[in-house]
Structure 1
Amino acid sequence: MSAEPMATNSSATGAGASRRPYREVTDARGRVYRLGETDRDILGHSRNIMVYLPWVAMMAISVFEYAYGSAEDTLSSAHGWTQSNTFWILSVWVFFQAGVAFPAGWLRERGVLTARRAMFTGSGMCLVGFLALSHLHNVLLAILGFGVVGGLGAGLVYATCINMVGKWFPERRGARTGFVNGGFAYGSLPFIFIFNYAFDTGNYHQVLDLIGAYILIVVFACAFFFKDPPKNWWPAHIDPLTVADHAEHAVSLAKNPPAVRQFTPKEALRTGMLPLMWISIVMTAGVSIFGISFQVDYAKDLGFGPLVAASSMGVMAVVNGFGRPTVGWLSDRLGRKKTLVCVILILGLAQFGVIWAGDMKSEWLFLFFAFLSGFGGGAFYPLFAALTPDYFGENYNATNYGLVYSGKLISGLFGGGLGSMVVAAWGYNGAYALAGGVSMIAAAIALLLRQPGRGKGVTGATGQAAAAG
């Protein structure tokens, strides 16, 4: 069953629209697709640039989260902070980095905040964050500068980059979302080793100031080329009503059929699926942040040398990053939900493996389970990012994914700051065991997810609703 064209227009309208004629068609379930305009009509070049530029920007801001744990000892010595102070600075950063996603998405979808403006603003705030970490000895002021201002800036950049990819690649978003998201982890690798080997109380001002300037320049430069596609846009070379004829995309769209319609945030909440995704990401991200925060400290506590401590975090960051495009690619072929459940289970098992490696005093086992923890602790992010528009559509993805991703602001509290309290009370073994158990519960919750508006047996895509239902 296919639908007739809904409208034909002589020119596109709205911000970022092209002048090439387009038509709007609707499928049997009522979803509208805007056809006729190519990416080159809208951008002037291939849409692939909307993969590479967000990827570069994500690598630039990755130093905030994934390298911070390696800088904590020097920061504590330089500013006279306790270990708890440094953990809470990161926790506040996570809170605001995740929390800004929804309001920023809401402003973007109402035309108040363009993608380009969000990136420009975020780049400046990131610079302020590192200047605060460098020059402010008062911990409350450091929390305000790095945690609040830096967190908001990094969050603006992160949310804009992730949503950009989802909008430009609606037909096969898993691998590309994973690729961009991966930059947020392995982009920190050089800084992890800088913080472990070339960062001390004698040069910390210069190092932190230069990092802030680096983020400003890279993100600001990328922002000049950011542009959203028109609402309901679909690639001109793929007919969404006969997608089975396109062998290159048929498997991905069969395993991950497009949303049955465009859900507003209120409608997405009423389906019950968005709240389940939120709960699952709260728990999973909490375990991931816990691992990022304590991996180096646990290695040092076990008596492993600085090379192993730095390498364990480096391995985690690299695998965390490269695991994201890998699972994105797999999810295009195996299905988003199935891949997500497997990733969360791997993350949980890795926490118990870290305990075992610590008890064995085995550096190689420790690095292996750091590898698994890094893989699981990053791979779920692009899966949730791709699953959100799969379930609720692209038009409101900035706000819908903003709501899902806001779960990370809760995760930051118990993954970092609260995690330090659990370590103090139960030791590292008890804390890692708790993290593993939380991850297993999150996997069970992810099993309950289903695409709103489709039956459990649906494998077909788009236009053939009757056959797919």
Structure 2
Amino acid sequence: MTLNRSTAEGASEPLGAPPRPYREVTDARGRVYRVGETDRDILGHSRSLMVYLPWVAMMAISVFEYAYGSAEDTLSEAHGWTQSNTFWILSVWIFFQAGISFPAGWLREKGILTARRAMFTGSAMCLLGFLALSHLSNVVLAIVGFGVVGGIGSGLIYSTCVNMVGKWFPERKGGKTGFVNGGFAYGALPFIFIFNYAFDTGNYHRVLDLIGAYVMVVVFACAAFFKDPPKNWWPAHIDPLTHSGGDKTAAGLAKNPPAVRQYTPMEAIRTGMLPLMWIALVISAGVSIFGISFQVDYAKEVGFGPLVAASSMGVMAVINGIGRGVVGWASDKWGRKPILVGVILVLGLAQFGVIWAGELKSEGLFLVFAFLSGFGGGAFYPLFAALTPDYFGENYNASNYGLVYSGKLISGLFGGGLGSMVVASWGYNGAYALAGSTSLVAAVIAMTLRQPGRPRAGKGATASAQPQPAT
């Protein structure tokens, strides 16, 4: 018979066992929180490093998506590709960048793939992707090299960075996730101007090779310090039951309460909320990718000069990134769902604004709506990334958000490749009108989201938040 001694929370452990540096508390709904260990106890330094390093890595890989559109004309001329060829290369990249998210998350949560190993592998694959874009003129081989290999590599890095932040900041994940996610957009700004002004058929090999090496070195250096917290970890200075420990944190948790329990992917799907999030992200990401793929070309089609075309894409990239941080902070303060709905509405309305600016031949208005399109086209990503653990918990977040984010692989097909077909058939105005209309549908879907397991206001009494024995 084993004798046990009780902890302050009612849990028990064998007599004679060394004291644990943490304790586990369980709330009234059965969710377990591991408390007592600080970030410095686990990492040896502040958890803030788990914000800045993922941010730097995200800036490095942003060149894949947000600067690619500015390089398309030179790539087409150098390799003899059609416009459709270059669009499909990006579409395949998006497909694999998003598609690897769920399997990578599943492997991480099974302990098969560590965060560091995912980052190291991804950095090498990113280098291979740019070497393929540089040296392979056969479009099929370029699709395999840049689209498949580069897409998987950047997807491993993206998913690892986003989920790392959510695990280390479970009490205020919105602003932190938005900050890291923003690097994936504005990090491309220098390369947008390089591709528009200093990239031609005489130097494209050297430029692309150097960019690939840059991505690999930066990501590899950041990855050396990556480490996940233990499952159920909760910061020691915040009481998970009463949310005391800081007025700002308490206010944020009141607007975005923690998930009632830790949902596995299948359990999250059965709630019905994860499929709705997936559909809303498919539509929103498709509209965003459409804008990224066609904005420069549309500006040139309307008759705007190369400076306005490049500047509009630069504005989109910067605002896309900054907007992610702003809405993340705002969602911590005012709630994630209302901010998400507002962001998707802005994205949809901006598409109609781009048409209006083009019809008026107004460069100023065009830049304004490029600003709004860039804001809406990126800001929903960190909101979905933060909303997923809010609804389904942190323990399976790599897999759960991997499922939600996998919607982007569908978006890549109709936002880039199929978008080019719509432009060819309906013209830019018809394509932009379709994009705006579908975005408004996504906003309606987002309005139906609610946290699983928590009664709606007025529909039931709130369960008592008293500590229970840990299990």
Instruction: Return the TM-score normalized by structure 2.
Output: 0.95
What does residue 353 of structure 1 align with?
A: 353
Q: 1:463 to 1:125 in 2, by over 3 A?
A: farther
What does residue 367 of structure 1 align with?
A: 367
What does residue 14 of structure 1 align with?
A: none
CA distance in 2, matches of 1:464, 1:329: 29
What does residue 72 of structure 2 align with?
A: 72
Q: 1:405 to 1:4 in 2, by over 3 A?
A: farther
Q: 1:268 to 1:245 in 2, by over 3 A?
A: same
What does residue 166 of structure 1 align with?
A: 166
What does residue 204 of structure 1 align with?
A: 204
CA distance in 2, matches of 1:464, 1:88: 54
> Residue 33 of structure 2 aligns to a residue in which SS?
strand
What does residue 255 of structure 2 align with?
A: 255
What does residue 393 of structure 2 align with?
A: 393
Q: Output one character per residue of 1:346-378: Cα deviation in whole Å (capped at 9) or x when no partner.
A: 000000000000000000000000000000000
> Residue 263 of structure 1 aligns to a residue in which SS?
coil
Q: 1:8 to 1:56 in 2, by over 3 A?
A: farther
Amino acid at match of 1:265: P
What does residue 187 of structure 2 align with?
A: 187
Q: Output one character per residue of 1:34-83: Cα deviation in whole Å (capped at 9) or x when no partner.
A: 01100000000000000000000000000000000000000000000000
What does residue range 300-339 of structure 1 map to in structure 2 within 5 Å? 300-339=300-339
Cα distance, 1:320 vs. partner?
0.1
The answer to whether the 8 A contact 1:302-1:358 is kept is yes
Cα distance, 1:153 vs. partner?
0.1
Cα distance, 1:7 vs. partner?
3.1
Cα-Cα RMSD: 1.7
Amino acid at match of 1:225: F
Cα distance, 1:207 vs. partner?
0.2
Cα distance, 1:459 vs. partner?
13
CA distance in 1, matches of 2:67, 2:28: 49
> Residue 228 of structure 1 aligns to a residue in which SS?
coil
Amino acid at match of 2:33: Y
CA distance in 2, matches of 1:338, 1:269: 22
CA distance in 2, matches of 1:53, 1:218: 10
Q: 1:162 to 1:364 in 2, by over 3 A?
A: same
What does residue 110 of structure 1 align with?
A: 110
Q: 1:9 to 1:224 in 2, by over 3 A?
A: farther
Cα distance, 1:242 vs. partner?
1.6
The answer to whether the 8 A contact 1:167-1:229 is kept is yes
What does residue 413 of structure 1 align with?
A: 413
Cα distance, 1:6 vs. partner?
5.0
Amino acid at match of 2:443: A
Cα distance, 1:100 vs. partner?
0.1
CA distance in 2, matches of 1:115, 1:53: 13
- 5+ residue gaps in structure 2? 1-6, 467-471
CA distance in 1, matches of 2:284, 2:442: 6
CA distance in 2, matches of 1:203, 1:162: 34
Report which stretch shifted further, 235-244 or 57-66.
235-244
Amino acid at match of 2:353: G
What does residue 273 of structure 2 align with?
A: 273
CA distance in 1, matches of 2:38, 2:464: 24
The answer to whether the 8 A contact 2:385-2:401 is kept is yes
What does residue 16 of structure 1 align with?
A: none
The answer to whether the 8 A contact 1:8-1:23 is kept is no
> Residue 383 of structure 1 aligns to a residue in which SS?
helix
The answer to whether the 8 A contact 2:165-2:173 is kept is yes
The answer to whether the 8 A contact 1:174-1:386 is kept is yes
The answer to whether the 8 A contact 1:20-1:36 is kept is no
Amino acid at match of 2:206: Q
Cα distance, 1:340 vs. partner?
0.1
Q: Output one character per residue of 1:422-462: Cα deviation in whole Å (capped at 9) or x when no partner.
A: 000000000000000000000000001000001122899x9
What does residue 7 of structure 1 align with?
A: 11
What does residue 121 of structure 1 align with?
A: 121
CA distance in 2, matches of 1:326, 1:278: 23
The answer to whether the 8 A contact 1:241-1:464 is kept is no
> Residue 30 of structure 2 aligns to a residue in which SS?
coil
The answer to whether the 8 A contact 1:6-1:24 is kept is no
What does residue 425 of structure 1 align with?
A: 425
Q: Output one character per residue of 1:240-287: Cα deviation in whole Å (capped at 9) or x when no partner.
A: 112146313111000000000000000000000000000000000000
Q: 1:458 to 1:372 in 2, by over 3 A?
A: farther
What does residue 32 of structure 2 align with?
A: 32
CA distance in 2, matches of 1:20, 1:40: 16
CA distance in 1, matches of 2:61, 2:13: 41
Q: Output one character per residue of 1:184-224: Cα deviation in whole Å (capped at 9) or x when no partner.
A: 00000000000000000000000000000000000000000
CA distance in 2, matches of 1:396, 1:55: 22
Q: 1:463 to 1:123 in 2, by over 3 A?
A: farther
Instruction: Return the TM-score normalized by structure 1.
Output: 0.95
Cα distance, 1:21 vs. partner?
1.2
What does residue 144 of structure 1 align with?
A: 144
> Residue 240 of structure 1 aligns to a residue in which SS?
coil
Amino acid at match of 2:11: A
Q: 1:272 to 1:229 in 2, by over 3 A?
A: same
Amino acid at match of 1:325: G
What does residue 286 of structure 2 align with?
A: 286
Is 1:92 the equivalent of 2:102?
no
> Residue 242 of structure 2 aligns to a residue in which SS?
helix
CA distance in 2, matches of 1:245, 1:161: 27
Amino acid at match of 1:424: A
Amino acid at match of 1:386: A
What does residue 242 of structure 1 align with?
A: 242
CA distance in 2, matches of 1:214, 1:70: 19
Cα distance, 1:5 vs. partner?
2.0
* Aligned positions, number: 455
